Amino acid sequence: MAASTVGVRVNGNEVPAQIYLQPIAAPSVLGLFGFAGATFMVAANMAHWYGGANTDLYLAAFAATFGGLAQFAAGMWAFKARDSVATAAHGMWGAFWIAYGILQYEFLSGALHTPATASFPALGYWFIVLAAITWMCAWAASAESIAMSAVLLFLAAGSTIAAIGYLAGSASIQVIAGYVLIISSIIAWYAASALMLEGAFHRKVLSSGRPVTQQADLVPGAGEPGVIRGQ
């Protein structure tokens, strides 16, 4: 934590003021890696790359912690980074993956019955909600990062297709959703890697497509000197 002293005027007199800066690593490094891992594993199962009848139960604990807890924590840290897109995306999807793990536990405990067919309207409607919010996140992310926007675009599309698949009870549509979500997870892995490498080498190593913005010089005592919004 660094401190910067600037002058402020109190009752007409200039007195020193302390501004404390608390730099943090880009929260989306953790959030995107957590999302990428959980989404890839679950989506690969949806796409029938591997797995059986009980695979969802085996995945639940990892999805809830890797994609849920880790990503939700990143969403909360994104508040501090003043990144509203990351806050919404990581917070929402982190909460979803935690809920996914709890849902699978309820199936395992017998509190709920596992759907016998591909039809799962209760989950389908949740994917409608996820898709609606994620489309908006993708739109907002287009102003910050092409890579993040691409992650969210494919995620929104995959969620939309998954909603249709679960509502219609179509296993083939769910497979398509799995492939689209796999693409989202791969782009998320790339975007997280770009952020991590930039933080490690202190220069751009992989392009994330962030627009170059012109910022006015910071004036001592005006606004919040040294405080940066975003990641």
Domain positions in the chain are 27-201
Kindly report the pTM of this predicted structure. Answer: 0.83
Bridge partners, 8 (sequence order): 15
Distance CA 69, CA 168 (A): 31
Contact 56, 44 (CB under 8 A): no
pLDDT per residue as tens, the chain (231 positions): 444 444 556 566 665 655 555 567 889 999 999 999 999 999 999 999 998 878 888 899 999 999 999 999 999 999 888 899 999 999 999 999 999 999 999 988 888 888 878 899 999 999 999 999 999 999 999 998 999 999 999 999 999 999 999 999 999 999 999 999 999 999 999 999 999 999 899 889 998 887 655 334 434 444 444 455 567
- Distance CA(186)–CA(231), nearest Å, equals 20
User: How far out from the chain centre does Cα 156 lie?
Assistant: 12
What radius of gyration, in Å, describes the C-alpha atoms of the chain?
Answer: 21
| Cα–Cα nearest to 102, from 88, 115, 112, 90 | 112
What is the predicted pLDDT for the residue at 148? 95
Q: Which long-range contacts (CB under 8 A, 24 or more apart) does 7-12 make?
A: 7/220, 7/221, 8/221
List, as own/partner pairs, every contact residues 42-45 make where C-beta atoms lie below 8 angstroms and the sequence separation is at least 24, other chains included: 42/67, 42/100, 42/181, 43/158, 43/177, 43/178, 43/179, 43/181, 43/182, 43/184, 43/185, 44/178, 44/182, 45/178
Side-chain half-sphere CA neighbours of 84 within 13 A: 8
